[in-house]
Amino acid sequence: MATPARAPDLADIERESVESALDRLGHPRFHARQIFQWIYRRGVTDIAAMTDLSRELRDTLAKEFTLTTPALAHRETSADGTEKFLLRLEDGRHIESVFIPDTPSNTFCISTQVGCAMACAFCLTGKMGLVRNLTAAEIVGQVRVLAGALNMRAARFNIVLMGMGEPLHNYDETMKALRILADEHGFAMSPRRITLSTVGLLPALERLAQESFMPNLAISLHAPSDVQRGELVPINKKYGVGDIVDACKRFPLRKRSRITFEYVLLAGVNDSPQDARRLARLVAGVKAKINLIPLNAAPGIPFERPSDAAIDRFARIIAEHGVTVSVRKSRGRDIRAACGQLIVEGPKKSAAQQLAVMM
């Protein structure tokens, strides 16, 4: 016998779909606004708590819909104020989300997948492989949980899709999540406050260029040539450096906005003065800024962080070429919340995971 289809999740649909559902159920569409306010602004996790809706409508909604919220399984605070949240999903899988205070704004670093298929050589999440995509409800759910746990429902914050997963590898759910986050009756996020970070899956990048809700774009470049990048970011064998940079040149940008190129600095691998010059020349035709990320080392990751002198030298050469450059301050490294350090135990633990768990 087929299992009965699960009721749709109110936290997984855009407001227009809530309106159509209300229509179908014989209730006025405007209740969708109240429902959005309850879920996203007031943080309710139970339909019964939406007390300005009639009892009858609440009962109907509870029959027709579920309302899922990731469960806060563990919370850890770093000496620098960064907080890492371990969230448990409906199917028992776990993801991590990170709160980074004062950077200069408050930032939520959100996951888009359980694990990641990209297998970048320096990233711990990559060691997990891809377990599954997150739903839009689970992506937005991280923001709901963090905003509640941090007492920040009424506060302004930025969102970076730089947690676990490759957002463009989970395109539809990620875009739906962004539309829900943007809804004026929910979090009302401006696209300028959201940054999507990607290895540069070309077809998805071209699709993104057509979207009406356009987040800031960050490209994980990490090397100035295909030979070097191919060793670090396996998908480069399919979508090379030249093609990605060309797509960035065509990418529609808002006034005064720029594409960020992220560049993880690895000692002796991609941190030479020649690499810096090639990188600066490579992005010369793009409205770009370069964000250098000194490696966050971890057991099982076969690279080292360059010396501060090497990092400074690299940054200086780029600046001398007239390209804006910044060095990302590592946050939350003591609790393994920094870039590339998010990993949760899967059913099968890889050697790197076992080591990471022992840390």
Cβ closest to ligand SAH, residue 50 vs residue 339: 339
How far apart, in Å, are the Cα atoms of 328 and each of 103, 141, 292?
Answer: 10, 27, 6
Neighbours of 108 (CB within 10 A): 23
Give the per-residue contact string, 245-264, with ligand SAH (x = CB under 6 A; - = no): -----------------x-x
Q: Give the Cα separation of 28 and 209 in Å (integer).
A: 36
State in angstroms the smallest separation of the CB of 122 from ligand SAH: 5
Count of chain residues binding ligand SAH (CB under 6 A)? 18
Q: For ligand SAH, which stretch binds (CB under 6 A), given 71-79, 146-154, 193-201, 250-258? A: 193-201
Cβ contact 209:250 at 8 Å: yes
Q: Among this protein's residues, is 339 annotated catalytic?
A: yes
- Which residue of 70, 186, 332, 340 would you call a contact of ligand SAH, by CB under 6 A? 340
Instruction: For the segment 84-143, give every residue that binds ligand SAH (CB under 6 A).
Output: 118, 120, 122-123
Please report, as a single letter, which amino acid is at residue 54: S
Give the per-residue contact string, 150-189, with ligand SAH (x = CB under 6 A; - = no): ------------x---x-----------------------
- 313 φ/ψ angles, rounded to the nearest 5 degrees: -60, -45
* 3-state SS assignment for residue 246: helix
Q: Give the Cα separation of 277 and 314 in Å (integer).
A: 9
Q: Give the Cα separation of 247 and 84 in Å (integer).
A: 34
The C-alpha angle 101, 103, 107, rounded to 5 degrees, equals 55
Question: According to the binding rule CB under 6 A, does residue 295 interact with ligand SAH?
Answer: yes
Strands 130-133, 94-100: parallel, antiparallel or unpaired by DSSP? unpaired
State in angstroms the smallest separation of the CB of 212 from ligand SAH: 23
For residue 224, the 8-state DSSP code is: S
Cβ contact 235:184 at 8 Å: no
Q: Please, what is the end-to-end C-alpha distance for the chain in angstroms? A: 46
State in angstroms the smallest separation of the CB of 327 from ligand SAH: 12
Question: According to the binding rule CB under 6 A, does residue 60 interact with ligand SAH?
Answer: no
For residue 118, the 8-state DSSP code is: S
Question: According to the binding rule CB under 6 A, does residue 236 interact with ligand SAH?
Answer: no
State in angstroms the smallest separation of the CB of 301 from ligand SAH: 6
State in angstroms the smallest separation of the CB of 240 from ligand SAH: 16
Q: Among this protein's residues, is 248 annotated catalytic?
A: no
Cβ closest to ligand SAH, residue 1 vs residue 358: 358
State in angstroms the smallest separation of the CB of 22 from ligand SAH: 36
Cβ contact 330:265 at 8 Å: no
Cβ closest to ligand SAH, residue 71 vs residue 121: 121
Residue 77 burial (10 A CB sphere; 0-12, 13-18, 19+): middle
Cβ closest to ligand SAH, residue 178 vs residue 295: 295
Cβ closest to ligand SAH, residue 19 vs residue 275: 275
Q: Give the Cα separation of 40 and 44 in Å (integer).
A: 8
Q: Give the Cα separation of 129 and 35 in Å (integer).
A: 36
Instruction: For the segment 209-228, give every residue that binds ligand SAH (CB under 6 A).
Output: 220
The one catalytic residue in 14, 19, 96, 173 is 96
Cβ closest to ligand SAH, residue 54 vs residue 307: 307
Q: Give the Cα separation of 313 and 328 in Å (integer).
A: 15
Question: According to the binding rule CB under 6 A, does residue 344 interact with ligand SAH?
Answer: no
Residues in the site for ligand SAH, rule: CB under 6 A?
Answer: 118, 120, 122-123, 162, 166, 197-199, 220, 262, 264, 293, 295-296, 301, 339-340
- Catalytic residue numbers? 96, 339
